[in-house]
Amino acid sequence: MQIWLNQRETPFVGENLNELIDQLGAGAKRGIAIAVNDEVVPKEEWPRFQLAEGDQVLIIEPTQGG
């Protein structure tokens, strides 16, 4: 299926957010947040949150600045 990941069309083979994170190699990253179609998905829901064709997924990582 095709999803939009951080505003880029991306092929995705899988079903849920955990599989997407594993596919991206970001499984070990701490402190990320994920929004799907402009709704933040709590981390405890990632294993059962099903993605669909055309979903808009935004992965947010903390940054430092000053």
**Residue 44 is assigned to a structural domain of this protein:** yes
Dist. CA 35–CA 24, nearest whole Å? 16
pLDDT at residue 46, rounded to an integer: 93
Find the CATH number of the domain harbouring 49. Answer: 3.10.20.30
Q: How confident is residue 62, by pLDDT bands cut at 50, 70 and 90? A: confident
**Residue 6 is assigned to a structural domain of this protein:** yes
List, for residues 6-46, the tens digit of each pLDDT value: 999 999 999 999 999 988 886 666 788 999 999 999 999 99
- Domain of residue 13: give its range: 2-60
Q: How confident is residue 52, by pLDDT bands cut at 50, 70 and 90? A: very high
**Residue 65 is assigned to a structural domain of this protein:** no
**Residue 15 is assigned to a structural domain of this protein:** yes
**Residue 66 is assigned to a structural domain of this protein:** no
Full-model pTM? 0.86
- Structural domains of the chain, count: 1
